[in-house]
Amino acid sequence: MASTSLLGSPAHRLLLIAFCALVGLTVGALAALINPLVLIGLAVTAPLGLWLISSVPRALFALVVVIGLLPRFALPARLGFTPTFLDLSLVGLVIAWAIHQLGARRDMPLRRTPISLPVLLLTLVALAAFIIGLPNGALTPLVLRRFAELVLSLLMSLLIIAVLRGLSAQEQLVRWMLWIGALSAAIGIVLYVIPDDLAIQALSALRPFGYPTGPGVLRFIRDDPALMQRATGLWIDPNAFGGYLLVAGALGLPQLFSPRPVMRRGWVGLCLLLIGGALVLTASRGAMLGFALVVGLMGVLRYRRLLILMAIVLTLALVLPQTRELVQHFVEGFQGRDLATQMRFGEYKDALRLIERYPALGVGFVDAPDVDLYIGVSSMYLLIAQQMGLLGVAMFASVIVALFSGAARAWPAVARDARASAVFLGAHGAVVGALFSGIFDHYFFNIDFHNSVTLFWVMIALAVSSRLLKQGETAAGRSDPLEPASRRLSGSSGPAVDVGAAQIGDRHGWRR
């Protein structure tokens, strides 16, 4: 474990000295310019931060925790802008990876994969659209920070591919996502079932961390308290919460049937029960339909029992009186009769008008240039087209095409190994579910939902990593039919870049 210690090499010591100097200057400036009470918070959190960045797995775990449990938390003090916990965790992962690469092993280099060039091109198009759109409105620190977060999330996918260098690392990420997803779901269920006044009081207590206060923290169908309440957990937005639960549930589904699940099968079942229950309580139709699509695809591809389970759940939903209001919510949506659906139709029409006027690079991320147009629509794809034009949509589509064309080539070989295929199906299922829900919602590519955007690109990275097996062997140690593909993905005619699953577990502390 010396390679992950902050004090293990001269390079590490120099980096630590520079880091401590930077922290000292920052603390002094904060004490002089802002509030001496900030020192108390730094004194508490600095040791924890140093401990987290001393290990890549710990830094990645912190990212998973923040996405699931602290999704909208911001620092209670302004530093010219207000960084979120997610900003800090992403920067911490970058620092941890850089420290590791400065060590003796240096075995987490960035890799060339089929999505690398499309992701970089997508980032460049986003930057071009942002610059072109600057004259459209006032560039506030908030907009600048949120756009920088979008770029960071896009590029972070390439770093996470470098980190997830083996089956044990990938399974550990799935395990964390299940546990944290279940805990986030449990919080959402508790806040849903307790009296409204108590839930409002509990959520309003998070005001120092940037949360809203008052009765508005509770959400209802069509914002009507007379209708069904919608679970939000700590995510504020029920649709974004539903999207998170969709991703966590999709990752865990194959583990129910894997001969070697990432945790005991009973715990997997409990996690999925909590996640599924909270997903229903969000009343997010896009997320639930996306999850149903994932279940159906996994049932067709590999796990036939999922089709039976889905039929049972659907039957119960149709006959139980407790789900009558939810079923009616779906029926009204399909018929286009409810207000939310009608508003979506209006947004789609307005979005198409904007795209027709600015088809190439959109209008950027600041504001629309015309008073009769606006940025914002309940569809990820139309939102990308609004902000980045059809060129942005094409670049985003190129990432997805590269991902799934590679997956189709890899699947026949990955399917021969039950453990590897469970991770593979879970990761790609999470991406499919997110893409489908993006037809009806926008949060997976919306700068106002940094947590959802980061979650999506983490799943992209996991999906790519799940098919990069060690040259000459699969996770079970058999001959690897993917070896030519591994060479292509590594961009080299030499050995494939991946190390074995057991080796990654021993080297980097990926433990069960």
For the CA atoms of 454, 457, 463, 464, the dihedral, rounded to the nearest 10 degrees, stands at: -130
| Structure tokens belonging to residue 267 | 């715990």
Torsions phi, psi of 154, nearest 5? -60, -50
Partnered with residue 61 across adjacent β-strands are none
Residues of the chain above pLDDT 90, percent: 56
Q: How many angstroms separate the CA atoms of 149 and 453, rounded?
A: 9
Which band of pLDDT confidence, cut at 50, 70 and 90, is reported for residue 210? confident
**Residue ranges per structural domain of the chain:** 1-109, 110-508
pLDDT score, position 482: 34
Which band of pLDDT confidence, cut at 50, 70 and 90, is reported for residue 15? low
Has residue 226 got a pLDDT over 50?
yes
> Exposure of 82 by Cβ count < 10 A (0-12 exposed, 13-18 middle, 19+ buried)?
middle
- Residue 347: closest CA among 367, 370, 369, 373: 373
pLDDT score, position 247: 97
Tell me: the pLDDT tens digits for 379-426? 999 999 999 999 999 999 999 999 999 999 999 889 888 899 999 999
The mean pLDDT of the chain is 84
Tell me: the pLDDT tens digits for 434-454? 999 999 999 999 999 999 999
Number of C-alpha atoms within 13 angstroms, CB side, residue 101?
Answer: 12
pLDDT score, position 13: 66
pLDDT score, position 489: 34
- Residue 166, Ramachandran bin (φ over 0: left; ψ between -120 and 50: alpha; else beta): left
Which band of pLDDT confidence, cut at 50, 70 and 90, is reported for residue 83? confident
Has residue 327 got a pLDDT over 90?
no
Residues of the chain above pLDDT 70, percent: 81
Which band of pLDDT confidence, cut at 50, 70 and 90, is reported for residue 341? confident
pLDDT score, position 128: 96
Residue 190's identity, in one-letter code, is V
Has residue 45 got a pLDDT over 70?
no
Q: How many angstroms separate the CA atoms of 201 and 218, rounded?
A: 11
pLDDT score, position 479: 35
Residue 50 is given by DSSP the state H
CA angle (64, 89, 125) in 5-degree steps = 95
Tell me: the pLDDT tens digits for 352-379? 999 999 999 999 999 999 988 999 999 9
pLDDT score, position 254: 94
Q: Is the model more confident about 457 or about 222?
A: 457
Which band of pLDDT confidence, cut at 50, 70 and 90, is reported for residue 510? low
Q: How many angstroms separate the CA atoms of 167 and 151, rounded?
A: 28
Which band of pLDDT confidence, cut at 50, 70 and 90, is reported for residue 100? confident
Torsions phi, psi of 160, nearest 5? -65, -30
Has residue 269 got a pLDDT over 80?
yes
Q: How many angstroms separate the CA atoms of 41 and 80, rounded?
A: 17
* Least confident window among 8-12, 303-307, 350-354, 386-390: 8-12
Has residue 228 got a pLDDT over 80?
yes
CB atoms within 10 A of CB 436: 18
pLDDT score, position 106: 75
Tell me: the pLDDT tens digits for 106-119? 778 888 899 999 99
Has residue 159 got a pLDDT over 50?
yes
pLDDT score, position 496: 36
Has residue 79 got a pLDDT over 90?
no
Q: How many angstroms separate the CA atoms of 492 and 485, rounded?
A: 11
pLDDT score, position 36: 55
Longest CA–CA span in the chain (Å) reads 67
Tell me: the pLDDT tens digits for 469-506? 553 334 444 433 333 333 333 333 333 333 333 333 33
